Chains A and B, each alone.
Chain A
């Protein structure tokens, strides 16, 4: 069980990631505009959007039930729990009793369950198709992320994300090929889970009116937009905190934590610049084409397992 200091760190990093999320999505919009050579919105536009939506009336479709109303709250609470359990500034998860790889994958399944169910609950046909796609992508991506993290855990000898982070951060030069393949597979899975073009299958704005988001409005939509940004930040944090933990604090003092925070922010910016480059240089894809890419991702993860088995 966590002690007081760990709990404080967990709450601090959860709050920080939550507050950071709209800036990150604003940053992505700015980058997108720059790549389009547009002026684009200001960096803090997403805060303004959220605040404005919070003041708007909520419109609930007549078939919608409790699931539809409760989903934004469940989504944000679960993602906050994930955010609190990842190693961010140190080589250990502040909540090690939650921060292990299987719990991480299944908390994302909790998110997916309610996100998709709300789509059917709204009664909208677009939201229903979005729900179907969301769960299909889950079925395609879960093996990739699970196998990649499993091999990472085998390399570290523990399923705790903190220990995996310490093992990847130590640069001890273990099985280099396996480590690189794991990182590639995780990076791919992280990108797909962010739901950006060309993998914005469930929330496809142009073809499905943003899928499960179709019928949301007002405060519910505000929470959802915020939670989706938080999910993107959380996925990036998985990559940064567990697989690229360079600069994280080995012994937590004020100075090392501040350095670690700075390093984290720089890495986060770099990750989202790369994400923006990929997102804006690719075209939308047909839904059934997505499985080809996910099989490729699974291939990379399998390669990592093979490298691990032969000791490369």
Chain B
């Protein structure tokens, strides 16, 4: 039954893709919305029973290739992924119908619907197929379809970002491919089932792990392989960004879990330590860079780097637990990582959809041109606020619960782990603390500069609320943010079941209305109690204010702000870059801020006391040290190779003859 529903879901997406290619524009966008929403529901219905039962369902289809059967395996981990993808896709589909009609009318809606639907279908197929060849096929299909979404705008930035994305996605895929080929060389089969039982020599297992870790890490966008992410995600249309950031990068995490835990059995402790360290570093650097952005979509994209880091911290602890023979720790780490995976999918898609709604009104991604939207777009603002509170891990919303579990797994690791872990785990907790404190700063800025204060541009002043399809897409995800937080005692056991299927060890995480990390003595948390008390306690100040309500004049609304006697204007209020300036100063080394001299400035300096000059964006360390040398290296190598292409017709004939001789010699020899 689950597999039938799953097949129905895939069929709906493929039908939607084909229909939107042939139908006229308006019908195409409607069709995409309907097929996307129905496909989401079908996928959800397929995944939920597997998640509740905990029993994998498999089916083998004879494929066209004798060496690679098409095997579908819906186990708890892939069911969780299917559920996440379906949930987000349904919300995005509902949002997208109105969004594309408004924003991309007569700019190829049909093609966009085609690639969107195929993109979702290939993501769904990647997580369920149980054969290495088909895995690579769908993995590549996913990269390719999303590439067309990234370059959809066809401007310079989109094409160049798309190119970078294309390169890194394929470099990652090649690493994964090599890892699978190594496993194939040992087992003689491409089925994951054969890989699971393979007895690999330790050095080979390590090589496979490292290849898969960096290959999938490039897809997940962890530091230092994240460079494509803050460029590709903002370039895509906003509803596609929601899928890219909300779901696709999780496939990278899924791949890491799949290969290192499911296939290789996480046999070595330092693999987990490596994942933990990369996660901790990603979490801090992602948010530090996000703070410097004033392009709202780039800011959100950098936060994906941060959150992937947080997820990897949980996964790392899980791997350490398995390798060190501490199944309770392993299960707890995986619960934390998987819970955050689900949560990040929900709130990051919500935030991208919110940003997309705002961008349709302002026609700019620069937060400096927004402002004051709280008055004119109240529902979008509320949805964005809920997403922001979720990502900042503000209790009692969903991000808080999963970060709480992450902290608890780090605590357990520090309490019972090896001496290395006793040092690393508290430091990772500190990194997580810094990351979430900076996330608070970043989203105070993002929400404040976008929605609060007074309008900073004419379009911001004239903006209107978006229509109900877009609001209902955001509303669904916002409701999930609240439900996955307050409903933690229901959600946590589901994550526990997935973790149990990976570790073979069952821990208790919830009873009644509280959740706890395996052992209630370590710590307990009750988000329902917290929500009820917070709502109840809000009546205390209401009563206090109500005491003198009768003796108080009515509020005077619409006063000017105090500006030391000058006439205030919107330009005086704090700007996006100004707000984050203290962090840019305090964490200067992490930004790679450079000072340079400009000849014109130098020439005019004698006449002015001081000339302030500032860059409009911060240059990333990686761009300067990793990407730029890489680009230069490729360019130099290319120039050297141009010698071959001399332009002389006779030389080319010579090449053909030489190639023939070499091939003949090879065939004969």
Contact = CB atoms under 8 A, between A and B. Distances in A.
B548 interface: yes
B448 A131 contact: yes
A169 interface: no
Interface string A71-85: 011101110110010
A128 B534 CA distance: 27
A135 interface: yes
Given A110-B395, A138-B440, A143 B572 contact: no
Contacts of A51: 548
A152 to B, nearest CB: 11
Nearest to A291: B586
With most chain A CB atoms within 10 A of its CB, the pick from B393, B430, B556, B570 is B430
Contact of B523 (A124, A160, A223, A287): A160
Contacts of A119: 448
A65 B448 CA distance: 11
A13 interface: no
Contact of B514 (A1, A72, A138): A1
A305 B556 contact: no
Interface stretch (B18-26, B243-251, B560-568): B560-568
A109 B393 contact: yes
B448 A117 contact: yes
A222 to B, nearest CB: 8
B582 A1 contact: no
B376 to A, nearest CB: 10
A157 B419 CA distance: 16
A77 B538 contact: yes
Interface in A41-75: 51, 54-63, 65-67, 72-74
Nearest to B448: A120
A98 B555 contact: no
B437 A96 contact: no
Given A18-B540, A97-B524, A132-B578, A138 B555 contact: no
Given A97-B529, A133-B582, A143-B434, A223 B544 contact: yes
A57 B555 contact: yes
Interface in A119-145: 119-126, 128-129, 131-133, 135-136, 138-143
Interface string A90-119: 000001111010110111011011001101
B555 A60 contact: yes
Contact of B449 (A1, A67, A120, A136): A120
B45 interface: no
A54 B530 contact: no
B581 interface: yes
Nearest to A304: B426
Nearest to B397: A110
B556 A126 contact: no
B583 interface: yes
B433 A121 contact: no
B289 to A, nearest CB: 14
Given A74-B538, A143-B433, A223-B544, A135 B453 contact: no
Contacts of A107: 395
B9 interface: no
B573 A288 contact: no
A279 interface: no
A126 B448 contact: no
B411 A153 contact: yes
Interface of A: 1-2, 14, 18, 51, 54-63, 65-67, 72-74, 76-78, 80-81, 84, 95-98, 100, 102-103, 105-107, 109-110, 112-113, 116-117, 119-126, 128-129, 131-133, 135-136, 138-143, 146-147, 150-151, 153-154, 157-160, 163, 209, 214-215, 218-219, 222-223, 226, 287-288, 291, 305, 309
23 contacts: A1-B512, A1-B513, A62-B560, A65-B381, A76-B537, A76-B540, A81-B537, A103-B395, A109-B394, A109-B436, A123-B454, A125-B568, A128-B578, A138-B440, A142-B434, A146-B430, A146-B433, A151-B426, A157-B415, A160-B523, A215-B562, A218-B555, A291-B586
Closest 3 CB pairs of A and B: A128-B574, A120-B448, A97-B526
Given A143-B433, A150-B430, A219-B552, 16 more contacts: A57-B556, A60-B555, A63-B454, A81-B533, A81-B534, A97-B530, A102-B523, A103-B525, A120-B573, A123-B570, A136-B441, A142-B434, A146-B430, A150-B426, A151-B426, A214-B561
